[in-house]
Structure 1
């Protein structure tokens, strides 16, 4: 249970005791107190006057008296400003929180079952919530080109959301749907047949996905030339695009593929295998993984079966040319093609089949598609069709629509070969990280191997954080230089803060067993006979920045729940940045190893440990590693 939940529960009981009225705790509004007022959390009392029959101020005073009197271990004092009851949480609560969690690596995560240790698990008082089974589909590459910058945002969003939902107590299945068939794949195949001369990734030394992608670009170059020649000869543009020889060759190859032509199928399997090897290498480098991989070549026929079922149910209709459509005008949309006149399927037909396969495979309660906002219409149509077909997975379909990524130089176009390949972009980020780190002048203590790992950790961390710190729904411009600012709203700033804490802990001295026992007694409010008293060192009330850190650390649990509910990893990115800023302010004002006395040194050492664990956990939810040294 989070602190806000505890406050709501205590306030709900107080309302019942004082006013004889029951109110659900979730209906109470509790926020962090604004900086200009004294207090930690604020209970809004305006809506409670219907129970008290008194003014908001008097209602707040009555509740404040009751809460501080009945829950002295939680609240030390209060003040009322108009209809706002500002509650100050007692130091006893914060010390207990620190003692229970300073070395708890899983702090913030909802348990899937009750703690087995019966003690300091970091999850005391937290009841397991029933897990939902959720599938998140992300990456979903085409096998006609390598992953690019847009795929990076997709992959990082999908992976981070999966980790966040798991931390929020759900069972999560990470899935990848590979678009391994269709006209776009045939374009690369036709171009390879026409222009490769038998070349392979092995013979050219080119990574497999890049190799195949080069032929996709080549296809479109030749296609443009052929269309230009036809229009120059007097043919209108639309007809020229259909009659260009290389396009007709690709369409013929698609028909042969669907007819299981052995030669076409063998070429298809070979070229796809080149791409898969390239993808796997990129995924490993990025730290991206999947629990399930689906292939459209295995689901498109099932999509056709669903179309047949839809015709039999009268949900779909066939036109004179044999094409099959669904009428969605009643939903404010239009008619949607599901099967072409020649019997070949379209993208949404394949998605229908895949949706059924995924549901039958996993029986998930929610199916999340991480796909750019240019496909908003597509997924709205997919949901409507699944509903009309009465498919069981329709109710849980959710499209996590995200904005496109641009570079300072502008948009990217894969057909023209102007897309920034993911591999090249990662290389650039690592090189930028190396340059920035060397400029700080603190690399002499590292071996070359350690530096390579450090540069990769910083470069990938900078890239992931910059792409995840923005609300997914917003379009964004990625600036490589700005992403590696060690003093800004960046991953490296948080990584540096974590490394700084590790340096503090290495220098020590760390608390002894006896000092830890003294702190435990203090946290348990048992001050009799502790060593701190014997040595003349005594416990002092928390300093403002000490308390500010503990407040933020406790809020990590709420940040995870909010990020999961809103499906927004930027909540965790913003949380981690705020926590790192607060720690640096704390460290600038307070000495740790040379604190005023031993009790304060122990307190601050434990705060450092707790902060390090939470910073690491927050970044790990985003798929970002932390370095022990920087």
Structure 2
């Protein structure tokens, strides 16, 4: 429990006894650097409930706290702000209570229901791109944060493996591929299939141009280009279960899945359950028919089925076409219900999907609520903005999007270049260097993306992200490595300073201001994990970690650790450094970022 939580009830008790008023909340803020204090109570909001002078009210509350709370050393009031100084023993008791916790800040998993987090959900006609990177990093991190907050989590994706766009790649491979495979070409399977998606588009545009030159209107040419008609015919055959088409579909999708698996592994994300659109595209139609009978939906003259959401500020939305076929909304309704059938303990879902789908998910969630599903109250759209690059695009096999594999490789190369310029890798083997470049490069990419609020658009600068100064992944990784160096030196010097289980810090120790600030930062970690889970925001974890690291570096620069002559103080400072390192590692684990032992 944080200091503010500890004090909040005491302040309420003070107000009740002094003024016979039940205070609903207490507002805290960090004490300004130019005033004495560890935490500040803001008195002004209390004036809605307590009449009087804010300085006098603050003084009386402070006197009450001094008398009734052992941890309060002294208080001072500046205008309407009550600054409270906390006894050092409070922080040292806190430290003794958590220093041997290996998963400090994480909560044991509750049995009270589970949350399913969906992310990635790519198409099987091209490789993953930069947008998928933000999607995957957000979804994976939110899943890990929810787990750390005590929730049971299932991580999933729905793979869009059917439809006309898939048939376009299949048809182009048939026409132009000459039996090419990932093995014969040396290409990852997803890149190979993506190559033929581009080939289809090229041939399609050439055919349109020829038809237009022959006198056909462009709009008609776009619909009647022979290669498009062939792709549509292939889709009809697939839906009819044509053996040859289905066999080709399975073969080319298997290439893509193998490619995706490699990218996911390199990205450091995983899934507990995979759903495939080829299995789910027929789901939802029976649910719509049941909803039609119950009056949730209505039928128009042409036989199409709709839902009227105008009372909710939206519009009418189609859920079944006049020929009885489903739309994406129908499929999403059925898939959500199927997931709860597959995992009966689910009582909430998080959909990690770009903000261009905001309206779709408002409608989906409303429909599920109107259908009477109680878990529909716990659905959340983790909406995120686009990712741009300063150059607009990087090396890309399609020329229009930034390939995820290329970007990951580029990050490793950028890390290598900057590390070489800094000259910090003497004594490393080539294999150790390669591992470190990957750790730094991927850490830089993940941190740069995750430190930004999901709803905001990102301008991603690869070189800037690998800076070893400022609010970057490598800066935090370097601080962690510095802490490990301190611990190794403490061990090598056979000092008793190294933290051991059960070793208690004397609470009579007088704390340096920088030690106290670090302890305050450590104390905020569990609260930050819970807050990040409630807000589905890895950015809160990322920026908390940066603040903690800044505080440690200030401590490192102003306080002697291994050079301290007082053995008791040295022992505590090494222990404190170790705990900071553990919290950095735990926080970065929630972001999917590794921390190196040496840099």
- Does TM, scored on the shorter chain, surpass 0.5? yes
Residue 314 (structure 1) shift = 4.1
CA deviation map 1:179-232 (0-9, x unaligned): 111222122112222221222212222111111111111122222222233333
Greater Cα offset, 80-89 or 390-399: 390-399
What value does the CA root-mean-square deviation take over the aligned residues?
A: 2.5
Cα distance in 1 for residues equivalent to 2:435 and 2:172: 39
Cα distance in 1 for residues equivalent to 2:301 and 2:224: 23
SS of structure 1 residue aligned to 2:506: helix
Residue 620 (structure 1) shift = 0.8
1:622 and 2:595 matched: no
Conserved 8 A contact 2:487-2:498: no
Q: Which residue of 1 aligns with 2:504?
A: 520
SS of structure 2 residue aligned to 1:611: helix
1:602 to 571, 577, 587: 571
SS of structure 1 residue aligned to 2:358: helix
Conserved 8 A contact 2:497-2:574: no
Structural mapping, 1:409-424, within 5 Å: 409-410=391-392, 417-424=399-406
Cα distance in 2 for residues equivalent to 1:132 and 1:86: 42
Q: Which residue of 2 aligns with 1:127?
A: none
Conserved 8 A contact 2:162-2:278: yes
SS of structure 1 residue aligned to 2:115: strand
1:153 and 2:150 matched: no
Cα distance in 1 for residues equivalent to 2:430 and 2:295: 68
Q: Which residue of 2 aligns with 1:532?
A: none
Cα distance in 1 for residues equivalent to 2:298 and 2:565: 81
Q: Which residue of 2 aligns with 1:95?
A: 92
1:227 and 2:227 matched: no
Structural mapping, 1:6-405, within 5 Å: 6-24=6-24, 27-49=25-47, 53-72=51-70, 74-112=71-109, 131-319=112-300, 323-341=304-322, 343-363=324-344, 364-405=346-387
Change (3 A) 1:243 1:299: same
CA deviation map 1:412-467 (0-9, x unaligned): 99995422221111111111111111222122211222111111111110110011
**Which runs of no fewer than 5 residues in structure 2 stay unpaired?**
none
Change (3 A) 1:413 1:183: farther
SS of structure 2 residue aligned to 1:214: helix
Question: Could you state the TM-score of these two structures normalised by the residue count of structure 2?
Answer: 0.93
Conserved 8 A contact 1:454-1:627: yes
SS of structure 2 residue aligned to 1:365: strand
Conserved 8 A contact 2:100-2:502: no
Conserved 8 A contact 1:188-1:215: yes
Q: Which residue of 2 aligns with 1:574?
A: 543
Change (3 A) 1:426 1:517: closer
SS of structure 1 residue aligned to 2:282: helix
Cα distance in 1 for residues equivalent to 2:396 and 2:157: 21
Conserved 8 A contact 1:136-1:367: yes
Greater Cα offset, 150-159 or 588-597: 588-597
Conserved 8 A contact 2:287-2:334: yes
Cα distance in 2 for residues equivalent to 1:143 and 1:189: 11
Greater Cα offset, 563-572 or 319-328: 319-328
SS of structure 2 residue aligned to 1:420: coil
Question: Could you state the TM-score of these two structures normalised by the residue count of structure 1?
Answer: 0.89
**Which runs of no fewer than 5 residues in structure 1 stay unpaired?**
114-129, 526-538
